[in-house]
Structures are given as C-alpha cells and as structure tokens.
Homo-oligomer: A and B are copies of this chain.
Amino acid sequence: MAARLKTAVLGATGYSGLELTRLLAKHPRVDTPLQLRRDANGAKSEASSDGFPSVPWNGHSAAEPFSWAKLEQQDVKVLFLATPHEVSRELVPEAIARGLRVVDLSGAWRLKQDENRAVYGFKDADAAMAAKLTEQAVYGLPELNADRICSAALIANPGCYATSVILALAPLMSADFVDRSRGIISDSKSGVSGAGKEPTARTHFVTVANNLSAYSVFGHRHTGEILEQLKLEACQLIFTPHLLPIPRGILSTIYVSLNREMTAVEVESCFCDFYGGKRWVRVLPASNLPQIIFSLHTNYCDLGFCLADDGRRLVLVSCLDNLLKGAAGQAVQNMNLMYGWSEEEGLQ
C-alpha cells in the first residue's frame, strides 16, 4: 500500500475541526492528522478540552501550538483550516507559498466579488492579495466544480447554509427552468453547532430550547456565496436563516417560480440527470421530502420537492448535516478529489 497522506488540522478544537479530525483519523489513505491550535488561544483551548469530545481519554490528543516548522518536519501536504476567516487570511498566503495544498473551512476565499467579500472584513490594503488568492481559490462544492477541485492548491470550502441552497437550486438554474424575475426565497433552519462553540447569550441552552428565531435577515454572510455560484443578482434572492433547538442539521425550504409549466416527472428528471452518479446527493421521488434526521451523521445532501397544481410554483426541501456535508465531510470529499481518490473514501 502507498504511504499515507500527511495532513494537519488547525483549529482542531472547534466543532468542525473536531469532526474533521475524527474523519481524517479513520480515513484509509490518510495518517492521523496533526492537531494544531493558534498559540493565542492556548488557554481557551485548554478550557474547552474539558468538554466532549476532545477529552484525551476519548481518543483525541490535545492540539499542539501551530508552527510552520512543525508542518515541514512532519512532511504535511494538506493543511485544513478550521479557523476564523481572519486567521485564514493571515496564514494562507504563506501556506501556498510553501507549496502546501490548503482546504479552508472559513469564508475567507469563497467570494470573487469585492462587495460580497466585504462581510469578511477585507480592507483596501488586502485588495491585491485577496484578488490573487481569490482568483486561485476554487469553491469546493464537488458536485459543481469537481474538475477544478482536482488540481486546486486552495479550496474555499463552502458554507453550510450555502451548500444546502446551492445544491437544491443548481439543477434547475443550470437547465434555465427558473423565473429569476419572480425571486427565489430560501427559508433555512440550522442547528446550534452552526453558530460555533463560543458560549454566548445566543447559544445558551435556556435561550435556544423550546424556541425558534430568525436572524440576519437580508444580511447573512452566506448570501454572497449563493448569489455568485448561481449567478443571481442580489434582488433575486431572499435568504432567511433561523436558529433551531437542535445541535446539528440544516433544512432549507426553497421557493421557486418556474419559467414554464412543468410536470413533477420533468422536475424529478432534471434533478436525477444532474446528480446521476453523484455519491453524496440523494434525490427523493416527487412529493417526498427529506427530514433533518435522514442525513444526520452522514455526508449526504438530501433533496425533495413538491410542485403546485399549476406546474409553476415549486417548493424544494434540502437537508444536510452542517458539520459533515456542510463542513468537515465536504472538506474530506474535496481532499479525495484533489488526490484522485473515490469521493466516498473515509466518508461511509
């Protein structure tokens, strides 16, 4: 058997980083990943190691402080960044310069358009670097961009909400069945792990339990990704996220007007044709809708739809696990493509 790939995960103590570490540790073609943390967060990381599942006896080693020397010494080839976008922005230029391939789970390099990128705090001084790396970066949605992912040095791993919305809309958009002039609405709902591990008033159990709330209406950072990937204008999409009282999982209910009267069979065909042979998207029969628990703890994105009697109004439902297909699982799927392996390696 060939030597196993050496990888490192920076930010291994967050929810996505832990999930990614767990996946890589089981991956048949990859060595146990180097688990790293930024020095600055040392104290905090220590504290968070009290909790599940990073306690040492639970099979997780404590994350070590990050250094380029360590990466070189261990012959690391792929660096996964499960860090805030500020950290990604700081480290990626050097990582690329050193010849590492990078899969960045933050939003730093997902957006080509300056006005969208502003939400990640890019300033004028960053413009040249941002432009260059954004140019290089490939939006890591394997079902859409597999060809470019294969040879990419820098993968911008998509946002969890964005993945659920883009995968639901791509087949219809690609076939030009959508009447953009009537607007597309995605009413999306996510579990709390999507808000990160930082304890805040918003993530306190007593605030979330028995509750539901909408937030960031007309202003969520994932909106830009959806617009760019689907070539929509801002006025053609409303994206409304909600915080669900569950730990993980996303369900997006998406409302679309069709260009012409269609039958349910035609719509189903459109999806099945587009995703035929794709390992990690499941299309349900017409009028069957996925639920969050169907794809929980898997790398699947599940898609279903209901078509109105008039054949023009379509309700799409898209479900996935925000820590897997919406983050760590997709990162592994991208790595698989980058090394010419089957997309399902390490994800079954």
Residues of B within 8 A of A217 (CB): 287, 289, 306, 315
A255 touches which of B199, B238, B294, B313 (Cβ 8 Å): B238
Residues of B within 8 A of A191 (CB): 210
A348 to chain B: closest residue by CB = B26
Residues of B within 8 A of A293 (CB): 52-53, 207, 210-211
A296 to chain B: closest residue by CB = B210
Q: Does A212 contact B (CB under 8 A)?
A: yes
**Binary per-residue interface labels of chain A (203-241) against chain B in the complex, 1 for a CB within 8 Å, 0 otherwise:** 111111111111101100000000000000001001010
Residues of B within 8 A of A207 (CB): 51-52, 205, 293
Oligomer: number of copies = 4
Chain B nearest CB, measured from A214 CB (Å): 5
Q: Does A263 contact B (CB under 8 A)?
A: no
Chain B nearest CB, measured from A16 CB (Å): 12
Residues of B within 8 A of A238 (CB): 255, 308, 313, 315
Measured in the bound complex, the distance between the Cα atoms of B52 and A171 in whole Å is 26
B212 to A57, Cβ gap below 8 A?
Answer: no
Most buried by B among A201, A205, A308: A205
Measured in the bound complex, the distance between the Cα atoms of B257 and A57 in whole Å is 27
A213 to B183, Cβ gap below 8 A?
Answer: no
A205 to B247, Cβ gap below 8 A?
Answer: yes
Q: Does A246 contact B (CB under 8 A)?
A: yes
A55 to B294, Cβ gap below 8 A?
Answer: yes
Q: Does A15 contact B (CB under 8 A)?
A: yes
B240 to A294, Cβ gap below 8 A?
Answer: no
Check A289/B213 contact, CB under 8 A, given A204-B199, A247-B206, A315-B238: yes
Q: Which of A289-318 contact B (CB under 8 A)?
A: 289, 291-294, 296-297, 306, 308-310, 313, 315, 317
Q: Which of A33-66 contact B (CB under 8 A)?
A: 47-48, 50-53, 55, 57-58
B201 to A201, Cβ gap below 8 A?
Answer: no
A282 to chain B: closest residue by CB = B57
B201 to A200, Cβ gap below 8 A?
Answer: no
Q: Does A245 contact B (CB under 8 A)?
A: yes
Residues of B within 8 A of A348 (CB): 26
A284 to B57, Cβ gap below 8 A?
Answer: yes
Q: Does A242 contact B (CB under 8 A)?
A: yes
A249 to B210, Cβ gap below 8 A?
Answer: yes
Q: Does A79 contact B (CB under 8 A)?
A: no
B249 to A218, Cβ gap below 8 A?
Answer: no
A255 to chain B: closest residue by CB = B185
A315 touches which of B205, B240, B251, B291 (Cβ 8 Å): B240
Query: Which 4 A-B residue pairs are closest in the complex by CB-CB distance?
Result: A199-B199, A187-B187, A213-B291, A217-B306
15 pairs of residues in contact across A and B, judged by CB atoms under 8 Å: A57-B282, A57-B284, A57-B288, A185-B187, A199-B204, A203-B205, A210-B210, A210-B246, A210-B293, A210-B296, A211-B293, A213-B289, A214-B253, A214-B317, A238-B255
